[in-house]
Amino acid sequence: MSEHILFLTGRLAELQLRRVLTDMGDAGFTWDVQVPGVQVAALLTGDMIRRRLTDPRGADRILLPGRCRGDLAALSEHFGIPVERGPDELMDLPAFFGRQRRAPDLSRHDVLLFAELVDAPRMRIEAILDQAARYVADGADVIDIGGLPQTPFPHLEETVQALKAAGYRVSVDSLDPDELLRGGRAGADYLLSLTTDTLYLADEVAATPILIPAHHGDLDNLIEAMQRMEANNRPYFADPILDPLPFGFAASLARYHELRRRMPEADILMGTGNLSELTDADTAGIHALLLGIMAELNIRALLTTEVSPHCRSAVREIDAARRMMFAAREGQSLPRDLSDALLGLHHRRPFPYDREEIAAMASAVKDPSFRIQISEEGLHIYNRDGMHSATDPFALWPHLKLEQDGGHAFYLGVELARAQIAWQLGKRYSQDEELTWGCMGLRREEENLTVQCGPGSTRTTTQTEPS
């Protein structure tokens, strides 16, 4: 016996909802639609639903529009059947029901994320702790203290101890063997970077070394250092070094591939800053590509930086990408329809309605309030007096009768500007909601240090880490 689902919606969307459900054909359930006396379903509250929905019509489940607010647990208890939210847009219902596809599990990953403080010798301890807190909130697992050439670092030990006291794992990154030794003795968990010439430092401290070639590109030398560590039964990470574009990037990728072929069980680290920092391109796509390569080669540690302003969300992006690629690899699926966290500038389905469908909805409006929607053809604004369309908001102004209402004019100006940006970029636009930018949006520190990067990407979830 198939499941019977009751869909709640507003009057303006009722016909469209019925058409979408009808077009879905045999979706594995039967359905009914109710309109609890509102024009727009997003205006429904839990109390209104309890009062106005007196007959669930034998439903096994009640589905609310995605923007409808209300306590779902309380509603489920009241009606005695599950009450859930569907997608924000009607046109996404078929994908929502796509053979009952479960929401992807993005709670797991297997990449240890090092976030570097590149100016640590010039920073006060308080500033270091503040930046470390932001990095960890964004997804970092290890705080990397970067040394600077020919720059004294008198408070190195104090920095390591302060970070450890705050509960963070710490690495020290320096070209100076003395600084590495000082950091290791102060309690650092990792040292970047040791070569065959400085491998003796690993015998002096308990910190796990990150190994690099003594001479750039010398894979045999790097493998020699790895084998020496394995002979002493010591853990390590090996980094063949990623080179920037167009100065050896492809060859450096080949080195990572060759290292994995020759050392199939070794722990490898990739430093991504040479690509993200030194390329004037949006970094989300760069990080998605690099984390995908890491997933294929089972590279389980990554070092990143946020020096350039265009890299300011690198840690958040990498955190989202490592979860997405882990889920894709484990589920043997393409990294699609898992998360919008890395789709900051565009949306895969930006225009859920075409102009004709929006016009049909506009024809049902009987009040003076303006609604704004976008389609592939442009911007559309409508109320009971009709619908007007354009690609430039200024072309719509002569058609809007605002009766010298400054507040309303300001509101419509803001909304039309958002709509135009969304249309130009190919993003989703929903009236009265800010545009979403995935992991690339500015951090809202005044609200919370934790930044959501898509489903399952909170910082308190469990993870699989390298041993």
Q: What is the average pLDDT across 50-65?
A: 88
pLDDT at 48: 86
What is the identity of the amino acid at 117? L
Structure tokens that stand for 17 in this block: 């909802």
Q: Is the dihedral of CA 89, 93, 98, 103 positive or negative?
A: positive
Instruction: Round the average pLDDT of the chain to a whole number and report it.
Output: 89
Domain with CATH 3.40.50 in the chain: 3-100
* Predicted confidence (pLDDT) per residue in 245-300, tens digit: 999 999 999 999 999 999 999 999 999 999 999 999 999 999 999 999 999 999 99
Contacts of 305 (CB under 8 A, 6+ apart): 115, 116, 118, 273, 276, 277, 311, 314
> How many Å apart are CA 154 and CA 158, to the nearest integer?
9
The residue with greater pLDDT, 128 or 369, is: 128
Structure tokens that stand for 309 in this block: 């302003």
The residue with greater pLDDT, 10 or 257, is: 257
> How many Å apart are CA 205 and CA 184, to the nearest integer?
6
pLDDT at 463: 46
pLDDT at position 453 over 60: no
The structural architecture, per CATH, of the domain 3-100 is 3-Layer(aba) Sandwich (3.40)
Contacts of 78 (CB under 8 A, 6+ apart): 50
* Predicted confidence (pLDDT) per residue in 353-384, tens digit: 899 989 988 988 888 889 999 999 999 999 99
> Helix, strand, or coil here: 203?
helix
Q: Which of 70-79, 93-102, 376-385, 452-461 has the highest mean pLDDT?
A: 376-385
Residue 73: how many other CB atoms lie within 10 Å: 10
Q: What is the average pLDDT across 181-186?
A: 96
Which residues in 282-431 belong to E strands, given as ranges?
301-304, 371-375, 378-383, 386-390
pLDDT at 360: 87
pLDDT at 43: 74
pLDDT at position 419 over 80: yes
pLDDT at 284: 95
Q: Which of 32-41, 180-189, 286-295 is least confident?
A: 32-41
- Class in CATH terms, 112-331: alpha beta
> How many Å apart are CA 118 and CA 351, to the nearest integer?
42
Domain with CATH 3.20.20.20 in the chain: 112-331
How far is residue 68 from each of residues 71, 84, 95, 362, 456, measured CA to CA in Å?
10, 10, 19, 21, 22
Characterise 254 by phi-psi region: left (phi > 0), alpha (psi -120 to 50), beta (else). alpha
pLDDT at position 465 over 50: no
Helix, strand, coil distribution of the chain in percent, nearest 5: 40, 15, 45
Strand partners of residue 379: 374, 390
What is the identity of the amino acid at 417? A
Q: Does the pTM exceed 0.85? A: no
